[in-house]
């Protein structure tokens, strides 16, 4: 663990940007200011660079069985890509086995990550097979360091789907256990019916993935989940918000005084439904759920980020190879594994298309990628801040660094990038994890196994905010 002084940079927090040096001692931030202790430590010249708290991505899927196959990234390749994009913490989804327990999912996921992860990580659990013993298990999750559960309102016809009565009951139990419920909000019944009708008419191509999941299926389910959370009197997370209609539901709920934390993802800010029409089955590379939308939604999502109606940008990194995985859905779009990579691209895409384009401020960039993530997901005050006492997870960001995304310069393992050819300006130059250099100038130097499990607690985050 190296002690360092980062000198000459501009610190960007969720509230303000200011000229300051940062002293790192023993893996933590020791001081931030214009007069930090000199000591006899390594000095890093950060002139012209921005110093930001390490980014937190609370929406990834590493080494996950899904759609009849398994994601292409394990914790080694997935966290290499994460740290290359400035991300120093993942909160990944541990999937309950069919017939299994939530505790079993945590144990399985910790075994996958241990010895492989290059950055610190926490876990959510995803309810994939609701039964009475699963409900009884929810209050035990905080003792395992897990304070969030995901419930799928989509994927009707598979055990992942949870009907409203189950969702409401989970919310009631979670409220009393200080656990936050996060929903995948799509109307599973409507999507299943539309899929059946499309296939009967011979509509099998990737574009039908999106056409059978219209915006209204997401907006309706988002509103329904919000009202169920109101009935249960509990906080709600809505992941991967794709469209203005769903963002409107969240804004209206927040205006009424409900606590709803909405997340969107970079693909919904820059890609469109037209990507699913690419020839030669290439559209399958863009199949994710909820699906990409028409471009009119981009402005609405950017606006929601800038006003604070949406407070998080996660990647929903869920990478599959085109060869042998996406291809499972040739001739039947419902068999295309859902998901795309994005953990490495999340911050650079948001910088160029958000900050440089004048849609969000640098402070909002830090908020939605780091500080709000720590706040919402129970990681304050250890993560998400550049402040004395916090872990020295620091991104040295070069706001002028040109970056053309291509598969060859990606650090993850799948065989394509949906961002191929995208030209960006602004990327990490160096990344530190607990004071250790983890990434520099294109090279990941963090070793597999150097990351640690992070127990999370919503109570701890709330106490840190109140302090």
Q: If contact means CB under 5 to 8 A according to the sort of partner, which of Zn ion, ligand URP, none does residue 288 touch?
A: ligand URP
Closest approach of ligand URP to the CB of residue 147, in Å: 19
Among 28, 49, 61, 326, binds ligand URP (CB under 6 A): 61
Q: Could you give the string, one character per residue 81-120, with x where binding to ligand URP holds by CB under 6 A and - elsewhere?
A: ----------------------------------------
Closest approach of ligand URP to the CB of residue 325, in Å: 12
CB 148 within 8 Å of CB 124: yes
Q: Could you give the string, one character per residue 329-368, with x where binding to ligand URP holds by CB under 6 A and - elsewhere?
A: ---------xx-----------------------------
Q: Does 120 bind Zn ion (CB under 5 A)?
A: no
Q: Could you give the string, one character per residue 237-256, with x where binding to ligand URP holds by CB under 6 A and - elsewhere?
A: ---x----------------
Distance CA 284, CA 26 (A): 47
Torsion of CA 147, 264, 231, 186, to 10 degrees: -110
Tokens of 248: 């409107």
For ligand URP, the closer CB: 174 or 288:
288
Among 316, 345, 393, 398, binds Zn ion (CB under 5 A): 316
Which residues, numbered 369-408, are part of the site for Zn ion (CB under 5 A)? none
Instruction: Say if residue 356 is exposed, middle or buried (CB neighbours under 10 Å; 0-12, 13-18, 19+).
Output: middle
Which residues, numbered 165-204, are part of the site for ligand URP (CB under 6 A)? 184
Distance CA 16, CA 8 (A): 17
Residue 374: CB partners within 8 Å, gap ≥ 6? Answer: 53, 56, 380, 381, 382, 383, 384, 385, 461
Among 220, 316, 345, 429, binds ligand URP (CB under 6 A): 316
Distance CA 37, CA 44 (A): 14
Q: Does 57 bind Zn ion (CB under 5 A)?
A: no
Q: Does 382 bind ligand URP (CB under 6 A)?
A: no
Residue 380: CB partners within 8 Å, gap ≥ 6? Answer: 374, 460, 461, 464, 465
CB 363 within 8 Å of CB 15: yes
Torsion of CA 383, 388, 389, 391, to 10 degrees: 40
Coil, helix or strand for 296? helix
Closest approach of Zn ion to the CB of residue 317, in Å: 8
Q: Which residues pair with 69 in a beta bridge?
A: 66
Q: If contact means CB under 5 to 8 A according to the sort of partner, which of Zn ion, ligand URP, none does residue 127 touch?
A: none
Closest approach of Zn ion to the CB of residue 166, in Å: 16
Closest approach of Zn ion to the CB of residue 462, in Å: 25
Q: Does 229 bind ligand URP (CB under 6 A)?
A: no
Q: Could you give the string, one character per residue 147-186, with x where binding to Zn ion holds by CB under 5 A and - elsewhere?
A: -------------------------------------x--
CB 347 within 8 Å of CB 313: no
Judged by the rule CB under 6 A, the positions of this chain that interact with ligand URP are 61, 184, 240, 288-289, 316, 318, 338-339
């Amino acid at each position: 663990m190296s002690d360092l002084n980062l000198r000459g940079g501009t610190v960007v927090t969720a509230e303000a940007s200011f000229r300051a040096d940062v002293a790192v001692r023993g893996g933590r931030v020791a001081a931030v200011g214009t007069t930090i202790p000199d000591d006899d430590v390594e000095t890093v010249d950060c002139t012209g660079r921005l110093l930001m708290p390490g980014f937190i991505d609370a929406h990834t899927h590493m080494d996950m069985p899904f759609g009849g196959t398994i994601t292409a990234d394990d914790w080694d390749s997935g966290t290499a890509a994460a740290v290359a994009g400035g991300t120093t913490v993942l909160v990944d989804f541990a999937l309950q086995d069919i017939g299994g327990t939530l505790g079993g999912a945590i144990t399985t996921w910790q075994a996958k990550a241990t010895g492989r992860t290059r950055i610190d990580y926490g876990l959510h659990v995803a309810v994939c097979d609701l039964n009475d013993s699963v409900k009884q298990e929810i209050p035990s999750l905080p003792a395992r360091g897990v304070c969030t559960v995901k419930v799928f309102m989509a994927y009707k016809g598979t055990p992942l789907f949870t009907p409203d009565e189950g969702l409401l009951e989970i919310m009631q139990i979670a409220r009393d256990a200080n656990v936050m419920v996060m929903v995948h909000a799509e109307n599973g019944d409507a999507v299943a019916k539309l899929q059946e009708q499309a296939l009967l008419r011979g509509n099998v191509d990737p574009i039908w993935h999106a056409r059978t999941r219209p915006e209204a299926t997401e907006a309706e389910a988002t509103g329904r989940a919000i009202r169920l959370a109101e009935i249960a009197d509990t906080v709600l997370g809505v992941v991967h918000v794709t469209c203005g209609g769903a963002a409107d539901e969240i804004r209206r709920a927040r205006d009424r005084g409900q606590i709803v934390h909405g997340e969107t993802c970079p693909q919904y800010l820059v890609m469109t439904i037209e990507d699913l029409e690419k020839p030669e089955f290439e559209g399958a590379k863009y199949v994710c759920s909820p699906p990409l939308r028409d471009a009119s939604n981009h402005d609405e999502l950017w606006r929601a980020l800038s006003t604070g109606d949406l407070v998080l940008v996660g990647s929903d990194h869920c990478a599959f190879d085109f060869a042998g995985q996406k291809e499972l859905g040739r001739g039947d779009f419902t068999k295309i594994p859902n998901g795309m990579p994005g953990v490495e691209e999340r911050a650079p895409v948001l910088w160029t298309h958000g900050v440089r384009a004048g849609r969000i401020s640098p402070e909002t960039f830090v908020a939605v990628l780091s500080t709000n993530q720590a706040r919402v997901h129970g990681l304050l005050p250890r993560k998400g801040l550049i402040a004395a006492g916090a872990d020295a997870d620091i991104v040295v960001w070069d706001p002028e660094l040109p970056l053309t995304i291509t598969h060859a310069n990606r650090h993850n393992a799948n065989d394509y990038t949906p961002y191929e050819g995208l030209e960006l300006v602004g990327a990490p130059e160096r990344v530190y994890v607990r004071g250790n250099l983890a990434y520099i100038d294109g090279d990941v130097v963090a070793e597999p196994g150097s990351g640690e499990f992070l127990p999370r607690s919503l109570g701890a985050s709330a106490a840190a905010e109140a302090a």
